[in-house]
A and B are shown apart, each in its own frame.
Chain A
Amino acid sequence: MRSSRDRRSFLGVAGRSVVAIAVLSMVACGGAAGPDYRSPYVSLAGLIASSEIATPTQVRVALVWKHRDPEGNLLRAAQELAVSAQFPVRFRLDITSLPPADSLNQRFSNGQYDPNWRYATGTLLVYEDVDGNGILDLVSTDAETTVDRVLGAPERLSVFYVEGSAVRRGGSGAQPGFNLRRELPAVDPPPGDSTCLPTTSQEYLPLSTEIPVALTAAPELSREMCAVTGHVLPGGGCTGPGCTSAPAGAQVTCNADGTAFVSKLCQPPRGLCGSTSCEYGCGRRSITDPVPPQWPCR
């Protein structure tokens, strides 16, 4: 029968096609980038170093980028990170997006800002998402309370991001993209220092470095949720030959022969989002000069 032959032939072709395509499908490696696909630029490893609190259920991690505006205010923008817990205290953080463009700063070089070398500095915050909205709620400058609760932040570790056509790979400094940076403690200026400014320094760590986080829920951590913090640049004290006294209450450090000093007067922050400011003063005299009446080093 012609129809039976047709049917057998058709089924034969169809059967072989099915097998061929099925085999092709099965041997194909790779997976689809589905709607949940997140390809991280960088994955960071974290460690809960210690915990002084009962761990809440709604714990999230945010990367808070800081940007300084022309007036010197510190603006913050929060970026949520995907966290994969690795029992019992280790976790992995995936950074799947670049810092917001308005969080970028331009490098100040040779007396001008370079738009081709942009950077952003971010702080990792482990927080309790109290209102359960899935994001870290930043608060305004005049806020007296916060929405969420910061449980901990790595001490002196930040995420440093660099981009731009002038950025070059190589060397020991910041590399294009994301970097892990340790902020070394600021060093007060030595007595008689001409700049009279504290010295800061950083070192870059491998991205695989485990980031320790202590969960303390300390109140001062709440400051990291302020969207804007006022001018906090150090300095402002007297310097030069006319600087012969230290403000009352300032911490004074003198050199060995008492001919130079540095004073440091810090003002505690006012309110939740008030700024902390320290005023440095640096005085110097010749050893042959008479000691000024209010010279702090005797």
Chain B
Amino acid sequence: MGSDRFRGTSAAMRMSWRKAAATACALLSTAAGAAAEERLAVIAGANLGSAEDEPLRYAEADANRFRDVLVELGDIRPDRAIVALGGSPEQLLQALIEARGRAAEIQRSGRRVVLLFYYSGHGDEDGLHLPRGTLPLSELRAEMRRIPADLRIAFLDACRAPGRSKGVRRGPDFDLAVAPDSPRGTVEIRASSSGEAAQESEELAGAVFTHFLLSGLRGAADADGDGRITLAEIYAYAYRRTLFRSGTGPALQHPSIAEELAGSGEVVITRPAQASATLEVPRGDERYLVFATPSAAVMGELTGGETARLALPPGRFLVARHSGNATAVATVDLSWGGKRRLTEKDFQPISREELALRGGRIELRARRIEPRLGVEFGPGSELPFAARAGAAIALSQGVIEWEIEAAYLGGATSVAGWQGLEQAITGGPSVGFRQFFGRWTLSASLGIELRYSWQHLERLDRLRVEQAGFLATEGRSFGSVGPRGGVRLALPLGNDLAASLGISAIGLFRREEGLAGSRRTVFRPGAFISAAVGYAF
């Protein structure tokens, strides 16, 4: 925790999390029968604060991750998640004004409006520190109140400096549980209590509170296992985990909640059960950090002793397990969604140093062998089409991939007065640069093609030629070399297999014979397409 950053310092104002959780739980009721609900979100993040604030590293990334979770699991349409990163107070207010317009539009259609607000960045007891000024919390709250929403939930992951009270009245406790309507009002959850700092973590690549908030929203907070994360569950989980985590560092951090609510029914924030991909870890005392690969973004955290299920977007993940001093990692491919339950045998021990150094960038199956089958085109050459079959072995290192390929090439050849067969052993080394687009991996490579060819030629009118006393066949062999570049698109077929399709352009320099034995060096361009199934190990 030595590298953790503080989002401010403040004096004490603390609210018992148990009481807050109890208050939230008191609001539990079903939404059944309520009017149809539409959700809006305004999500803000700013790495830079005021001049006195130390720049943050992950605030804007946290905002984006929060937005992704809401879109994935929170019933928020992408176009209704308004994101404002960096900028000025006016820009943030403008985002809220935009949300006000959309909320009014939804309300006119007779549907219930739920507004979610998230901010990650510097702040204090009185306001949010944006790069171009401070937005007073009173102004923020006033603007939020102008939004015609039935329910407003705000998550503020910022520090709280000493000052006046938050200005949000605490709502009644249990008496609202019997109210007939869906919950209405305002809830504000803050990353820390008054006087405390909100911390960032290098290990978690984000703010500590937001990390557990997101983990909880992805399913780690699902205490009752019903596949829904309610306001009560998320607060209870984020409070507990943030407090526990900060307890291992230099300063405690107590997330707080303030609410003004009326009505009944559960306030469901996310529904992990509707996720297309789910990861389960073995039950136990171990702690699991889930990284997306290859971005190494932290997707969430699970503790085997709690709910051991995390909802994820389709993709590939690295799961790092911490158990005492032992660390181990496992890779999971959920590119096509589905549920994957990890077992003990999926994990490979790894040193703490390497895990600390490379984190989510560890590649367990960095080597790949890939049989390939394709067709090569040589327009204008004596070998216009040829079959190409071979294999490549590759070594991945993040976005870079080293590869060497060897292949057999064969096809019918014809030149003036001759026809026959041309065969070659071809291939060579290349280096590729990978880009990842969802479940697709696109790699662009550059390399060298080395080729040794054999030509077996036969005169077109063999019988006449032989009866005229000439040799009707001829054998030739020659080498050629040149650059090669191409792109390959790969799609996972499971944890170890991937299918790919590639197209490459090659240019080969070689010696060619013309009339009566005259020779010259020529450049012959070509291209080939190949399909492959690769096995990672």
* Chain A residues in the interface with B (C-beta under 8 A): 1, 3, 6-7, 10-11, 13-15, 17-18, 21-22, 24-26, 28, 30-41, 43, 82, 84, 92, 94, 96-98, 101, 161-165, 167, 169, 175-178
A11, A17, A25: which has the most chain B beta carbons within 10 Å? A25
Query: Is A10's CB under 8 angstroms from B395's CB?
Result: yes
Interface flag for B33 (CB, 8 Å): no
Can you report 14 residue pairs joining A to B where beta carbons are below 8 Å apart? A25-B452, A25-B479, A31-B478, A33-B474, A34-B382, A38-B416, A40-B516, A41-B470, A96-B417, A96-B515, A97-B417, A101-B464, A163-B464, A164-B467
Interface flag for B1 (CB, 8 Å): no
Query: Is A30's CB under 8 angstroms from B476's CB?
Result: yes
Query: Is B418's CB under 8 angstroms from A33's CB?
Result: yes
Residues of B within 8 A of A18 (CB): 428-429, 448, 450
Query: Is A162's CB under 8 angstroms from B513's CB?
Result: no
Query: Is A98's CB under 8 angstroms from B453's CB?
Result: no
Residues of A within 8 A of B250 (CB): none
User: Taking CB as reference atom, which chain B residue is nearest A1?
Assistant: B354
Residues of B within 8 A of A33 (CB): 382, 413, 415, 418, 455, 457, 474, 476, 512-513
User: Taking CB as reference atom, which chain A residue is nearest B512?
Assistant: A34
User: Taking CB as reference atom, which chain A residue is nearest B381?
Assistant: A35
The residues in B between 452 and 505 inclusive whose CB is less than 8 angstroms from any CB of A are 452-453, 455, 457, 461, 464-465, 467-470, 474, 476-481
6 tightest A-B CB contacts, nearest first: A25-B479, A176-B469, A34-B512, A163-B468, A31-B511, A31-B513
Q: Of B380, B393, B418, B479, which is within 8 A of A26 by CB?
A: B479
Residues of B within 8 A of A163 (CB): 464, 467-469
In whole angstroms, how far apart are the Cα atoms of A24 and B478 in the complex? Answer: 10
* Chain B residues in the interface with A (C-beta under 8 A): 354, 363, 366-367, 380-382, 393, 395, 397, 402, 404, 413, 415-418, 428-429, 448, 450-453, 455, 457, 461, 464-465, 467-470, 474, 476-481, 510-516, 519, 522, 524
In whole angstroms, how far apart are the Cα atoms of A26 and B418 in the complex? Answer: 26
In whole angstroms, how far apart are the Cα atoms of A162 and B93 in the complex? Answer: 99
Query: Is B402's CB under 8 angstroms from A7's CB?
Result: yes
A17, A33, A165, A177: which has the most chain B beta carbons within 10 Å? A33
Q: Of B402, B478, B514, which is within 8 A of A36 by CB?
A: B514
Known contacts A36-B512, A161-B468, then 10 further A-B pairs from the complex at CB < 8 Å, ordered by chain A residue: A6-B366, A24-B452, A25-B479, A30-B477, A31-B478, A34-B415, A101-B464, A167-B469, A175-B469, A177-B470
Residues of A within 8 A of B476 (CB): 30-33
In whole angstroms, how far apart are the Cα atoms of A41 and B469 in the complex? Answer: 10
A13, A30, A84, A101: which has the most chain B beta carbons within 10 Å? A30
In whole angstroms, how far apart are the Cα atoms of A164 and B464 in the complex? Answer: 7
User: Taking CB as reference atom, which chain A residue is nearest B358?
Assistant: A3
User: Taking CB as reference atom, which chain B residue is nearest A23?
Assistant: B479
Q: Of B429, B477, B510, B516, which is within 8 A of A14 by CB?
A: B429
Known: A33-B455, A33-B457, A35-B380. A84 touches B515 (CB 8 A): yes
Query: Is A32's CB under 8 angstroms from B464's CB?
Result: no
Query: Is B418's CB under 8 angstroms from A177's CB?
Result: no
In whole angstroms, how far apart are the Cα atoms of A39 and B480 in the complex? Answer: 21
User: Taking CB as reference atom, which chain B residue is nearest A118?
Assistant: B467
In whole angstroms, how far apart are the Cα atoms of A35 and B381 in the complex? Answer: 6
CB distance from B478 to the nearest CB of A (A): 5
Q: Of A32, A96, A101, A177, which is within 8 A of B382 by CB?
A: A32
CB distance from A151 to the nearest CB of B (A): 23
In whole angstroms, how far apart are the Cα atoms of A36 and B381 in the complex? Answer: 9
Query: Is A177's CB under 8 angstroms from B469's CB?
Result: yes
Residues of B within 8 A of A14 (CB): 402, 404, 429
Known: A32-B453, A33-B513, A165-B467. A38 touches B417 (CB 8 A): yes
Residues of A within 8 A of B450 (CB): 18, 21-22, 25
Query: Is A32's CB under 8 angstroms from B515's CB?
Result: no
CB distance from B343 to the nearest CB of A (A): 24
Residues of A within 8 A of B474 (CB): 33, 39
Residues of A within 8 A of B397 (CB): 3, 7
In whole angstroms, how far apart are the Cα atoms of A21 and B406 in the complex? Answer: 11
B363, B478, B480: which has the most chain A beta carbons within 10 Å? B478
Known: A14-B429, A38-B514, A94-B515. A30 touches B478 (CB 8 A): yes
Query: Is B468's CB under 8 angstroms from A98's CB?
Result: yes
Known: A1-B354, A21-B452. A39 touches B404 (CB 8 A): no
In whole angstroms, how far apart are the Cα atoms of A37 and B428 in the complex? Answer: 28
In whole angstroms, how far apart are the Cα atoms of A259 and B385 in the complex? Answer: 79
Known: A21-B450, A24-B479, A26-B479. A32 touches B512 (CB 8 A): yes
User: Taking CB as reference atom, which chain B residue is nearest A97?
Assistant: B417
Query: Is B428's CB under 8 angstroms from A21's CB?
Result: yes
Residues of B within 8 A of A178 (CB): 468
Residues of B within 8 A of A25 (CB): 450-452, 479-481
User: Taking CB as reference atom, which chain B residue is nearest A178?
Assistant: B468
Query: Is A10's CB under 8 angstroms from B402's CB?
Result: yes
Q: Of B402, B452, B513, which is within 8 A of A34 by CB?
A: B513
Known: A84-B515, A97-B417, A169-B469. A6 touches B479 (CB 8 A): no
In whole angstroms, how far apart are the Cα atoms of A36 and B404 in the complex? Answer: 33
